[in-house]
């Protein structure tokens, strides 16, 4: 399902390679574009994720697909002793490292280049794990989620923030228009990578959300799975534990 939609429709290369290349290419203007395409609402959604995590008073936190590190930086409010931001794109991580250094958070947050489908950590290591707008980019969704389950401590919290699709009229139609025409146009105008923003909307349209994603989490073994649609359903925050 998520494996079929790739950034460059290049059948000779894995989705993972194409995703890493795409994010390397757009890394320098990713933050600015993110604010424009979500009208800045993504900041509010990330804050909610941080509140959920902070309430559990974690010591070790892993932010997977951290990109330029916004969520990892905000997670520093949780007072965790160790925060790791992990991503496959060296370009995205580099932008994030500069932001972390500028905020003097480099003693708490480390940025690690690794693959979510093969996490370099022992079992039951993290008290909290987050993924914001990352799971739909995984090449093998269930493999990535199973790795997250493996490194999460029993009783730890897993929070996913991901795009979803409004189900009610007229928001459903409005969203379709926005994601099919406005989003790719903004992407083409402002991004160096013409395919990137078509990929982002196509992958969002094809990705399971709500009950369908809850069921995938449950299949992996997560318990107490809940979904909370945000802003008319254009994004959803999923919470689960082990
Ligand atoms: C849309 S960005 C989200 C970045 C950040 N979490 C945010 O909220 O702005 C998706 C990120 O997922 C990363 N990614 C995709 N597949 C990955 C994988 N298998 N392992 C680690 N990171 C991955 C990409 O490199 C990219 O930085």
* pLDDT (tens digit per residue) in 192-236: 677 777 788 788 888 999 999 999 999 999 999 999 999 999 999
Given this model, what pLDDT does residue 226 score?
Answer: 98
Residue 87, ligand 1, Cβ within 6 A? yes
Collect all residues with Cβ–Cβ distance below 8 Å to 119 and sequence separation of at least 6: 62, 86, 147, 148, 150, 151
Given this model, what pLDDT does residue 159 score?
Answer: 98
Give the model confidence (pLDDT) of 54-107 as tens digits: 999 999 999 999 999 999 999 999 999 999 999 999 999 999 999 999 999 999
Which residue owns the Cα nearest ligand 1 atom 10? 134
Largest separation between any pair of C-alpha atoms in the chain? 48
Strand 223-230 to 235-241 pairing: antiparallel
Given this model, what pLDDT does residue 164 score?
Answer: 94
Counting atoms of ligand 1 from 1, which one is nearest the CA of 31? 9
Q: What is the DSSP letter of 134?
A: -
Report whether pLDDT(142) > 60. yes
Residue (of 172, 154, 156) closest to 164 by Cα position: 172
Given this model, what pLDDT does residue 180 score?
Answer: 82
Q: What is the spatial distance between Cα 201 and Cα 198, in angstroms, rounded to a whole number? A: 5
Counting atoms of ligand 1 from 1, which one is nearest the CA of 24? 25
CA of 104 relative to ligand 1 center, distance in Å: 23
Q: What is the mean pLDDT of residues 127-148?
A: 97
Q: What is the mean pLDDT of residues 142-171?
A: 96
Residue (of 22, 223, 19) closest to 137 by Cα position: 19
Please give the share of the chain, as a percent, with pLDDT higher than 90. Answer: 71
Q: Beta partners for 162?
A: 236
Report whether pLDDT(184) > 80. no
Please give the share of the chain, as a percent, with pLDDT higher than 70. Answer: 98
First-last CA distance in the chain: 25
Residue 71, ligand 1, Cβ within 6 A? yes
Given this model, what pLDDT does residue 209 score?
Answer: 96
Q: What is the mean pLDDT of residues 141-163?
A: 98
Given this model, what pLDDT does residue 1 score?
Answer: 40
Given this model, what pLDDT does residue 2 score?
Answer: 41
CA of 175 relative to ligand 1 center, distance in Å: 23
CA of 228 relative to ligand 1 center, distance in Å: 21
For residue 189, with 0-12 CB atoms within 10 Å meaning exposed, 13-18 middle and 19 or more buried, which class applies?
exposed
Band of residue 238 on the pLDDT scale cut at 50, 70, 90? very high
Given this model, what pLDDT does residue 235 score?
Answer: 94
Report whether pLDDT(153) > 70. yes
Residue 96, ligand 1, Cβ within 6 A? no
Q: Across the chain, what does the average pLDDT equal?
A: 92
């Amino acid at each position: 399902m998520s494996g079929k939609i790739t950034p460059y429709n290049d059948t000779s290369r894995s989705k993972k390679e194409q995703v890493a290349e795409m994010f390397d290419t757009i890394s320098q203007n990713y933050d600015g574009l993110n604010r424009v395409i979500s009208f800045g609402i993504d900041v509010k959604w990330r804050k909610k994720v941080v509140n959920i995590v902070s309430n559990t008073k974690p010591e070790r936190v892993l932010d997977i697909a951290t990109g330029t590190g916004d969520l990892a930086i905000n997670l520093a409010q949780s007072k965790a002793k160790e925060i790791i931001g992990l991503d496959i794109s060296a370009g995205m991580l580099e932008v994030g490292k500069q932001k972390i250094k500028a905020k003097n958070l480099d003693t708490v947050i480390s940025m690690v280049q690794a693959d979510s489908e093969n996490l370099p950590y022992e079992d039951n290591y993290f008290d909290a794990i987050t993924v914001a707008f990352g799971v739909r980019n995984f090449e093998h969704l269930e493999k990535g989620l199973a790795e997250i389950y493996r490194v999460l401590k029993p009783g730890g919290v897993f929070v996913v923030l991901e795009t979803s699709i409004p189900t009610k009229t007229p928001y459903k139609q409005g969203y379709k228009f926005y994601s099919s025409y406005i989003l790719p146009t903004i992407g083409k105008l402002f991004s160096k990578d013409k395919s990137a923003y078509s990929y982002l909307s196509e992958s969002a349209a094809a990705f399971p959300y709500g009950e369908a994603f809850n069921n995938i989490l449950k299949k992996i073994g997560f318990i107490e799975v809940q979904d909370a649609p945000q802003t008319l359903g254009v994004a959803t925050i999923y919470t689960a534990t082990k």
